[in-house]
Amino acid sequence: MFVLQRMASTTGLLLHPPLVRPISPNVSTPRFFLAVATQFAGNRDKSLFHRKKANGFSTSIAVATDSSAPSIPTQNEDLVDTHKEESEKIVLPTNESSEKLLRIRHSCAHVMAMAVQKLFPDAKVTIGPWIENGFYYDFDMEPLGDKDLKKIKKEMERIISRNLPLVREEVSRDEAQRRIEAINEPYKMEILESIKEDPITIFHIGNEWWDLCAGPHVESTGKINKRAVELETVAGAYWRGDEKNPMLQRIYGTAWETEEQLKAYLHFKEEAKRRDHRRLGKDLDLFSIQDDAGGGLVFWHPKGAVVRSIIEDLWKKLHRERGYDLLYTPHVAKAALWKTSGHSDFYSENMYNQMDVEDELYQLRPMNCPYHILFYKRRLTSYQDFPIRVAELGTVYRYELSGSLHGLFRVRGFTQDDAHIFCLDDQIKDEIRGVLDLTEELLLQFGFNKFEVNLSTRPPKSVGNDEIWEKATCALKDALSDKGWGYQIDEGGGAFYGPKIDIKIEDALGRKWQCSTIQVDFNLPQRFDITYVNSNSEKKRPIMIHRAVLGSLERFFGILIENYAGDFPLWLSPIQVRVLPVTDAQLPYCKEVTEKLRAIGVRAEVCQGERLPKLIRNAETQKIPLMAVVGAKEVETRTVTVRSRFGGEIGTITVDDFAGRIKFASENRTPF
């Protein structure tokens, strides 16, 4: 992780929300957590998150680093010094940094399973692993509710208080089978059949309960701090993740080493909940997913569409400046195209069914790549034409199970900021460097200045010869070195058709999101037999580079909503100004002011029908950055009294001055 530049909105949390919902695609697990437990027990006003008077949401918090974590730059020292008197530093370890925590969480899963079967004797157990922020266990049983969770938690506390030993035992496969049959646990029998090693390992809690398990665990239940354990939620989960199998009850829990760590985690969880893009999307009228249309299909409402338009316009501008040609291509194609590309063979489970059109099969596109290749193939290409860069905001459709859909983060139809570069072998480095520069420039516009970069190399099974793999991998490394970006190597983690760079951004809560990908491809040029004519008039195969910066507009919008907690900066806010009359007598002038602002591109609206205090409160609730209050005096002097959501009352200024300051702030991405 590295910081590109120092920004006012720097924050220090590196926690991730609990697994109480379908996991968002490509959201990484932080390697370690940083958290601050506030002294809210004695003073509720000493909040963890300190609001700044800036045109955007920012936070300042004290942080502490985990010395055993990978080397990652620490936060701004000024932030640590500013608030160290208000906040108590607490390090939240991870499963990777603390074996003790891992043992606690794994043992908690077993204790919970024992508690469930004590309270619900007919419940059948399946699996119960530790996970990022805690643990879970799946049960085949009747649906559970909140009251049931409270009963289970109390029973867990009793088991912990008894300080029962956790004892490891090794038995033969036949003995394990006999014991499983004796207690009638069919899922355990299936698990036993999947275990290839002998002997079979069993862990006992006292002499009362046991489970197939390789460990590790704490020595006894008393090693678990019962005040640092919490049951969070119940969710449905198919056995083995297969919708054809029975639906199980999955109970999620979190466990920490100390009560203070749990409090810090729960506090962070509440903040993440406050920023949930699904709730904010509804409250701010940004987007919706309509049941009548179908799950995973996004409706962009007018306000959300404004933000999307700003993102698209900026994206197009930067791409044109960097030599990309923009394309628009069809949403469907003949099924034969997807056969040629290999998607029908290797990606069919993510594709929608084929449709018959005049006795020919067509299919919705899951990717844009084949279309860009067809564009390349439309004419003969010379080596002198390279590099060729094409880009498209292309909507694709991918089948997702209804249970995996999640707001804007997991949908069935979405728009990728897709681009492909066709180039020569010796141009790979410069083209990759150009993509890195574009990625930095675009993401910085939205306030993302902390990146984690991973370079994935050749896997055991791959296409392409050793020489081209070595050349491409070295080009990626050289481009990253030229850029001055640190990176981690994922040995063997590349796709079978080429090495790649993945870039994760860090949001205001420290969560890492996979957005940008740069992928060298040796496969599709071969499958589509694309060529160029070299200086000797010979046909050769070009290099193809896939790349996306934002990932998809839907998902990136969701990240933006949560990053800003819906408080978009002035330049990005769907409504920049709300003009508020003191009485209806000022309405004509309010409309005149609004029209003048709109004429220069300011997004303004008039709001009326309530008393002024209510109008101001409504604007605050809707997170409008600026309010222009108009009374009789303002009409007489041809002015407005400006109130900022973040800075309070600014004063009375002329409409021209007001408009000019908004325009300047928007164009320069600065506060008003």
The answer as to whether 15 is a domain residue is no
Which one is catalytic: 303, 546, 555, 643? 546
Task: Tell me the C-alpha distance between 381 and 385, whole Å.
Answer: 7
The answer as to whether 317 is a domain residue is yes
pLDDT of residue 59: 28
pLDDT of residue 646: 82
Identify which of 570, 355, 303, 445 has the alpha carbon closest to the alpha carbon of residue 4.
Answer: 445
Q: What percent of the chain has pLDDT over 70?
A: 87
Q: Clarify whether residues 218 and 310 are in a common domain.
A: no
The answer as to whether 596 is a domain residue is yes
CB atoms within 10 A of CB 492: 12
In this structure, what token pair is assigned to residue 162? 């008894």
- 340-354, 415-429, 590-604: least confident range: 340-354
Q: Is the per-residue pLDDT at 44 higher than 80?
A: no
Identify which of 233, 231, 180 has the alpha carbon closest to the alpha carbon of residue 202.
Answer: 180
The enclosing H or E element of 626 equals strand 626-630
Which one is catalytic: 83, 500, 512, 645? 500
Parallel/antiparallel/unpaired status of strands 639-644 and 648-654: antiparallel
Q: 627-665 pLDDT, tens per residue?
A: 999 999 999 999 999 999 888 899 999 999 999 999 999
Are the beta carbons of 407 and 280 closer than 8 angstroms? no
Which one is catalytic: 261, 416, 427, 519? 416
Q: What is the mean pLDDT of residues 49-57?
A: 31
Q: What is the mean pLDDT of residues 135-156?
A: 96
Q: Is the per-residue pLDDT at 351 higher than 60?
A: yes
Listed in sequence order, the DSSP H helices in 489-643 are 524-527, 553-564, 587-599, 612-621, 632-637
Task: Tell me the C-alpha distance between 37 and 462, whole Å.
Answer: 48
CATH code, domain with 617: 3.40.50.800
| Residue 530 belongs to domain spanning | 291-564
Task: Tell me the C-alpha distance between 392 and 398, whole Å.
Answer: 18
pLDDT of residue 345: 87
Q: Clarify whether residues 340 and 468 are in a common domain.
A: yes
In this structure, what token pair is assigned to residue 525? 């040029």
Identify the band that residue 27 occupies on the pLDDT scale cut at 50, 70 and 90. very low
Residue 376, CA distances (Å) to 327, 521, 531, 615 in order: 12, 15, 9, 55
Q: What domain count does the chain have? A: 3
- 29-43, 291-305, 326-340, 393-407: least confident range: 29-43
Q: Clarify whether residues 463 and 560 are in a common domain.
A: yes
Backbone dihedral region for residue 358 (phi beyond 0: left; psi -120 to 50: alpha; all else: beta)? left
Parallel/antiparallel/unpaired status of strands 639-644 and 626-630: antiparallel
Q: Clarify whether residues 524 and 663 are in a common domain.
A: no
Residue 270, CA distances (Å) to 35, 92, 199 in order: 13, 16, 45
Q: Is the per-residue pLDDT at 369 higher than 50?
A: yes
The answer as to whether 331 is a domain residue is yes
Q: What's the first-to-final CA gap in the chain, in angstroms? A: 31
The answer as to whether 73 is a domain residue is no
Which one is catalytic: 303, 406, 420, 477? 420
CB atoms within 10 A of CB 131: 17
Identify the band that residue 544 occupies on the pLDDT scale cut at 50, 70 and 90. very high
Where a domain ends, among 564, 589, 620? 564
pLDDT of residue 2: 61
CB atoms within 10 A of CB 128: 23
The answer as to whether 432 is a domain residue is yes
Identify the band that residue 1 occupies on the pLDDT scale cut at 50, 70 and 90. low
Q: Is the per-residue pLDDT at 31 higher than 50?
A: no
Q: Is the per-residue pLDDT at 301 higher than 70?
A: yes
Q: 106-120 pLDDT, tens per residue?
A: 999 999 999 999 999
Are the beta carbons of 569 and 56 closer than 8 angstroms? yes
In this structure, what token pair is assigned to residue 25? 């695609």
Q: 510-530 pLDDT, tens per residue?
A: 889 999 999 999 889 999 999
pLDDT of residue 569: 96
Listed in sequence order, the DSSP H helices in 204-330 are 259-274, 277-283, 302-321
Q: Is the per-residue pLDDT at 455 higher than 80?
A: yes
Q: What is the mean pLDDT of residues 612-641?
A: 96
CATH code, domain with 176: 3.30.980.10
Identify the band that residue 419 occupies on the pLDDT scale cut at 50, 70 and 90. very high
pLDDT of residue 648: 87
Task: Tell me the C-alpha distance between 362 and 374, whole Å.
Answer: 16
- CA 154 to centroid of chain Cα atoms: 34
The enclosing H or E element of 182 equals helix 173-183
Q: What is the mean pLDDT of residues 44-53?
A: 30
DSSP character at residue 221: G
pLDDT of residue 89: 61
The answer as to whether 61 is a domain residue is no
Which one is catalytic: 263, 372, 398, 511? 398
Cα torsion for 596, 600, 601, 602, to the nearest 10°? -50
Parallel/antiparallel/unpaired status of strands 130-131 and 134-140: antiparallel
Q: What is the mean pLDDT of residues 205-215?
A: 94
The enclosing H or E element of 548 equals strand 543-552
- 346-350, 440-444, 629-633: least confident range: 346-350
Tell me if residue 44 is catalytic.
no
Identify the band that residue 47 occupies on the pLDDT scale cut at 50, 70 and 90. very low
Q: What percent of the chain has pLDDT over 90?
A: 79
Are the beta carbons of 97 and 66 closer than 8 angstroms? yes
pLDDT of residue 253: 97
pLDDT of residue 447: 94
Q: Which residue has the tokens 């678990």?
A: 224
Which one is catalytic: 418, 502, 521, 567? 418
Q: Clarify whether residues 242 and 207 are in a common domain.
A: yes
Parallel/antiparallel/unpaired status of strands 413-423 and 543-552: antiparallel
Q: Clarify whether residues 615 and 522 are in a common domain.
A: no
Most confident of 9-13, 56-60, 233-237: 233-237
Q: Clarify whether residues 324 and 222 are in a common domain.
A: no
Task: Tell me the C-alpha distance between 479 and 430, whole Å.
Answer: 7
Note the pTM of the prediction, 2 decimals: 0.81
Q: Clarify whether residues 358 and 478 are in a common domain.
A: yes
Q: What is the mean pLDDT of residues 502-517?
A: 93
Residue 464 CB contacts under 8 Å (≥ 6 apart), including other chains: 497, 498, 522, 523
What is the b/e burial string over 608-641, where b = at least 16 CB atoms within 10 angstroms of the residue's CB?
Answer: eeeeeeebbeebeebbbbbbbbbbeebbeeebbb
Burial of 371 (0-12, 13-18, 19+ CB in 10 A): buried
Where a domain ends, among 514, 541, 564? 564
Task: Tell me the C-alpha distance between 671 and 662, whole Å.
Answer: 9
- 86-100, 187-201, 375-389, 481-495: least confident range: 86-100
The answer as to whether 487 is a domain residue is yes
Tell me if residue 514 is catalytic.
no
Task: Tell me the C-alpha distance between 169 and 528, whole Å.
Answer: 57
Q: 638-647 pLDDT, tens per residue?
A: 999 999 988 8
Mean pLDDT of the chain: 87
Q: Is the per-residue pLDDT at 54 higher than 50?
A: no
pLDDT of residue 92: 86
Q: Clarify whether residues 215 and 324 are in a common domain.
A: no
Q: What is the mean pLDDT of residues 322-329?
A: 97
Q: Clarify whether residues 220 and 295 are in a common domain.
A: no
Tell me if residue 217 is catalytic.
no
Q: 168-179 pLDDT, tens per residue?
A: 999 999 999 999
Where a domain ends, among 529, 564, 599? 564
Q: Clarify whether residues 554 and 597 are in a common domain.
A: no
pLDDT of residue 4: 57
Tell me if residue 418 is catalytic.
yes
Q: Clarify whether residues 228 and 313 are in a common domain.
A: no
CATH code, domain with 425: 3.30.930.10
Q: 548-595 pLDDT, tens per residue?
A: 999 999 999 999 999 999 999 999 999 999 999 999 999 999 999 999
Which residues make beta-bridge pairs with 640?
Answer: 653
Tell me if residue 420 is catalytic.
yes
